[in-house]
Structure 1
Amino acid sequence: MSTHDQLRRRLGLGDSVVLGLGSMVGAGIFAALAPAAAAAGSWLLLALGIAAVLAYCNAMSSARLAARYPVSGGTYVYGRERLGPFWGYLAGWGFVVGKTASCAAMALTVGSYAWPDQARAVAVAAVVAITALDYLGVRKSALATRIIVAAVLAVLTVVVGVGLFGPHATAPALPERVGPGGVLEAAGLLFFAFAGYARIATLGEEVRAPARTIPRAIMIALGVALAVYVLVAVAALNTLGSAGLAQGADPLARVVSVAGAPELTPVVRVGAVLAATGSLLALLLGVSRIVLAMARDRWLPGALAAVHPRFGGPHRAELVVGAVVAVAAATFDLRAAIGFSSFTVLVYYLIANVAAGTLGAGEGRPARWVTILGTAGCVLVGCSLPRESAGAGLSVLALGAGWYFLRRERAGTTE
């Protein structure tokens, strides 16, 4: 790879943390609580705790690997370097497909909150606008994400304050207990909201002092996101109860309404739009960098590996990813994308945990229990997701694996 094709290291600790928070503290917290409460009932906080532990293990493995391999590509690179080309490819394929679906879902979330009658048109417009912003360079994207994260955290602070201390807060009776399968399914759905820390690792080639910055940024972003999620979940349960929380697609807007502050409902809806926009911005950045890494290795067209000479980003990859997401948002109903994306991302982190387990003591290997628990958790939670999501995810992964072996055979290469 020539120096001309390398990305520029422009991101410090603050920008890296903000990009991670922009991915995590996004539309997931506005949307994932309701289906998770429907699955886990009164055990919602336990499901959140399981998702957080799994996210911590995955984050530790990703952080150590990112420090060892500070280039764009995330687990695509880690799997390739530690386990072999096929496993790196499978991680990259699963990430690109799953997160492309997630991008479309975020875009549709923007449209649904901003203008429900024209949700798809607004979704496509949002994708076009954010793709243009990403095209102008990652520093501009980081600045926009910083503004969005600050606004979303302010809105969530209002929700927490009203939900915990509102004069009309109520706590309806909790539903009957659910089985372990429901708790694990809820953990899988809530994991979707934590997965954004991967964006820091996929931007590894653009981070200054990556060996020190990336692990710190991942841990800080994950810790802040967990604190926010716990406070929001407690406030929502305090106001609506798990039964009430499970009803409707706008639980946080209903929190402020039921707690006696209906005038704040539009503010929460604006916050949801900003959150989805921030998630979409960071997701498009991350997916385009995985495409860049896979194009460099010729698993995707080599033209997608080009780096813009002025703006310093993978401009062709950004444009192609943006076009695919726009078509998906305009064409398909992607309300089940959370489950599908969660499954493929869990496979991505499964490979990351196994790869981290191969690190030597002198390579910054995480504690053994981290990689073991992370690996087992990815398998267990992934198998607990809805059958349709797991089936679709397995089908897509099998399709990608078939393409890998076909292309390798044509190229006459061997692992």
Structure 2
Amino acid sequence: MANQLVRETGLGGALIIGLGSILGTGAYVSVGLSATIAGDMLVWAIVLAALTALFNGLSSAQLAAAHPVSGGTYEYGYQFLNPASGIIAGGLFIVAKSASAATAALAVAWYISASFGVSETTVKAVAIGLLVLFTVFVLSGVRRTNWLNMLLVTVSIIGLVVFIGVALGSDSKAPAVGNELVPTSHLSLFHAAALMFVAFTGYGRIATMGEEITDPRRNIPRAVVLTLAVVSALYIAVGFAILHVGGLNTFEESHFNIANLISDSPWQWVVIVGGILAMGGVVLNLLLGVSRVILAMGRRGDLPRLLGGLDKAQKSAPAATWLTFLIMGIIAALGGIESAWTLSAFTVLIYYGITNIAALKVKKEQRFIPKFVSVLGLISCFGLVGLAAIA
């Protein structure tokens, strides 16, 4: 069809896109933010978030295989539920992922401010400049961004491995962690898990590219499971490392920069560079993902039809991409790291609640996961929203 995106992303590209969407703000900021809430229960919060992500990831993969088009739960809501569900899901996705991208852009700006002497008064300008840069990358076509993602993912993992190695190899400050980070109630565990869940949701980025991934019924589920397996292992290791090294009482002041926890190490610069590039990768992928949902909404007429147009090469959506930049830029200009991440957490959990409801409607002959997986996903999403709200 003339108005269809070209299928040119295989399993490897989908895995890299998923990792690029996840490994960034989650590892370099969110784990630390969650540590200040969950304290010594941080690792349990990560495990709970990972299980929730697994249920939701399988539901997303089920839906993407059954209905492989760009747009994620916006499209699934229309196909398996009703138009209102689709429109609500589309709006939630745009808000949640725009807030997440704004968080990543702000975090990069703060890393630069702390590490390279940039004035704190220019942090928001740096964040918006980063959004402009990656908007141009997205408009250049998905194949080029896949190559850049591969580089960013590699550097991100190197930075995390260095942090884990240095932190676990240092003298333990576990007693100090216990004193300064005991949560006020067990509800703090669920609050932290809700924030950590956002750090896993890059798998949804794979599902929103259903129209661009080759053999989507086979490659999307495999990419989701592989992505979650790699990320879960890294987050748990980072969680253990943070609790081992301690010193989190100043984390909020440093905008949850894990590199500050190993400030005495000559390898700190590797973590700093890894964090900056990894979170840049998050911005890149979320610009692409949100623009695809806006593209789908424009095609159907739920947003102005101008937003449903592609360029002549059928590889990018200029109007949808620039609107995505505008939304993210406004959130970055008006909000901060913690508030933007919290907004993302609550809206994305509700979004995936709708995802699970839609997955329950997939016909038996198209189903490859049992219904109870989607039921567990639904319960975990709304359960975390409710428990985190009263924490």
Provide the secondary structure at the position in 1 that maps to 2:71. Answer: coil
Name the counterpart of 1:281: 284
Percent identical: 37
The answer (yes or no) to whether the contact 2:57–2:203 under 8 Å persists in 1 is yes
Could you list the per-position Cα deviations for residues 257-288 of structure 1 after superposition, in whole angstroms to 9, with x for gaps in the alignment? 3xx51x22233222221121010001000000
Name the counterpart of 1:321: 324
Residue 247 (structure 1) shift: 7.5
Q: Identify the match of residue 227 of structure 2 among 184, 197, 221.
A: 221
Structure with more contact order per residue of length (Cα contacts < 8 Å, sep ≥ 6): 2
Could you list the per-position Cα deviations for residues 347-397 of structure 1 after superposition, in whole angstroms to 9, with x for gaps in the alignment? 11001111111223211152232111111111111123357xx9xxxxxxx
Runs (5+) with no aligned partner, structure 2: none
Q: Identify the match of residue 162 of structure 1 among 147, 161, 166.
A: 166
Instruction: Quickly say closer, same or farther: Cα 1:206–1:189, change in 2 above 3 A.
Output: same
Q: Identify the match of residue 141 of structure 1 among 140, 145, 159.
A: 145
Matched to 1:283, the amino acid is L
Matches of 2:184 and 2:335, distance apart in 1: 32
Name the counterpart of 2:74: 76
Q: How many residues align?
A: 382
Residue 331 (structure 1) shift: 4.3
Could you list the per-position Cα deviations for residues 152-177 of structure 1 after superposition, in whole angstroms to 9, with x for gaps in the alignment? 100111011111223x3432341446
Could you list the per-position Cα deviations for residues 94-131 of structure 1 after superposition, in whole angstroms to 9, with x for gaps in the alignment? 00122122222221112111135221121111111100
Q: How does 1:263-342 map to 2 (within 5 A)?
A: 263-310=266-313, 312-333=315-336, 335-342=338-345
Provide the secondary structure at the position in 1 that maps to 2:8. Answer: coil
Structure 2 residue 216 is the aligned partner of structure 1 residue 210: yes
The answer (yes or no) to whether the contact 1:34–1:247 under 8 Å persists in 2 is no
Matches of 2:161 and 2:124, distance apart in 1: 30
Q: Which is worse superposed, 247-256 or 305-314?
A: 247-256
Name the counterpart of 2:353: 350
Provide the secondary structure at the position in 1 that maps to 2:267. Answer: helix
Instruction: Quickly say closer, same or farther: Cα 1:43–1:83, change in 2 above 3 A.
Output: same
Q: Identify the match of residue 123 of structure 1 among 102, 124, 127.
A: 127
TM-score by length of 1: 0.87
Aligned-residue Cα RMSD (Å) equals 2.0
Provide the secondary structure at the position in 1 that maps to 2:92. Answer: helix
Instruction: Quickly say closer, same or farther: Cα 1:386–1:119, change in 2 above 3 A.
Output: farther
Structure 2 residue 244 is the aligned partner of structure 1 residue 238: yes
Matched to 1:138, the amino acid is V
Matches of 1:246 and 1:376, distance apart in 2: 31
Runs (5+) with no aligned partner, structure 1: 391-415
Residue 36 (structure 1) shift: 1.2
Matches of 2:317 and 2:183, distance apart in 1: 49
Provide the secondary structure at the position in 1 that maps to 2:173. Answer: coil
Name the counterpart of 1:39: 37
Matched to 1:73, the amino acid is G
Provide the secondary structure at the position in 2 that maps to 1:194. Answer: coil
Name the counterpart of 1:382: 385
